[in-house]
Structure 1
Amino acid sequence: MAAAQTSGLAAALREGLESGDPCALSVDRISQQSGVHKTTIYRRWMSSEGALADLLSEITAAGTPLPDSGDLEKDLRTVAQRLPSPTRRPRRSSAKSPQAPNPVLKDAAGRFWSSLVHHTAENVRRAQQRGTVDPTVTADSVVETLTGPL
Structure 2
Amino acid sequence: MPTIRVVALLLGCMLAASCTTKPPTSDARVCDKLDALAQSVQPGQSKTVRLVRGGTWMVDHYKKCEHVDGDAAAEQFCQWLIENSSTEFMEVNINRTVSCLQGQRIVGYIGNTSVESWSGKARFSMPKLTADVEVEIEYSVDYVTNEKEDFIQFKVIAD
* TM-score (norm. length: structure 2): 0.25
* TM-score (norm. length: structure 1): 0.26
Select the structure that is richer in strand: 2
